[in-house]
Amino acid sequence: MMERPAPGVKVCGIQRVQDAVVAVELGAQAVGFIFWPGSVRFVDPERAREISAALPAHILRVGVFVDQPPAHVAEVARRVPLSAIQLHGSESAAEYSASGCEIIKAFGVSDAFDSSALDALPAQVTVLLDAHDPVRRGGTGRTIDWSIAASVAARRRLILSGGLTPNNVREAVERVRPSMVDVSSGVETAPGIKDAVKLRAFFDALVPFADGSVTRNGD
């Protein structure tokens, strides 16, 4: 009987020190800061730097950007500092390699989404799948087609996003088997304000994967 490894957890849209600290204490491997001014969860780089300073060194600091100049992104990455850059627009991942950070390329999943297009990405680029929204660029609270996500996760490292909550994350992980799950609105009381009770419930839902009580289908 083969056990499914527990996925990593990224808590995104962090705006407050206390939310980042609680997320990490509960087991988050990564926190996400949104540096796109068009987002209701935007955080100033200096504020992100203060939050980052309160976290252990091993936690991944991910900066989310949308079609922002590579030089600006690299400067923010240096100032915070960031571990990874998440590109949520139409940018080419190759344009941002000079930042020295891991690159995460986000794709919005719609009815017309063709996952085969992802195969052209370099293997070192991590794919994130989210609900398609050309205006909000994430944080919509809408789930995606998990069968599409599962087909991508079978081929490469995948971060699953899009409408994940304490109530559905276990099923999502069972069906998709992502390397990491990304949660934002599903653990909030308001945009950018995380709820400690919801965060704990989210991590509790993943305990069966960590203790080996959830196994592969058919095993």
For residue range 3-41, list pLDDT tens digits in order.
456 899 999 999 999 999 999 999 999 999 999 999 999
Q: What is the mean pLDDT of the chain?
A: 89
Neighbours of 214 (CB within 10 A): 16
Catalytic residue from among 12, 19, 101, 182:
12
Instruction: Give alpha helix (H) positions in 16-87.
Output: 17-26, 45-53, 70-79
Rounded to two decimals, the pTM is 0.90
Catalytic residue from among 19, 101, 130, 182:
130
pLDDT value at residue 5? 65
Identify whether 130 is a catalytic site residue. yes
| Domains in the chain, CATH or no CATH each | 8-110+119-210 (3.20.20.70)
pLDDT value at residue 219? 38
pLDDT value at residue 84? 97
For residue range 177-212, list pLDDT tens digits in order.
999 999 999 999 999 999 999 999 999 999 888 766
pLDDT value at residue 191? 93
Residue 2 has pLDDT above 50, yes or no: no
Identify whether 12 is a catalytic site residue. yes
- Buried b or exposed e, range 16-41, using 16+ CB within 10 angstroms: eeebbebbbebebebbbbbbbeebeb
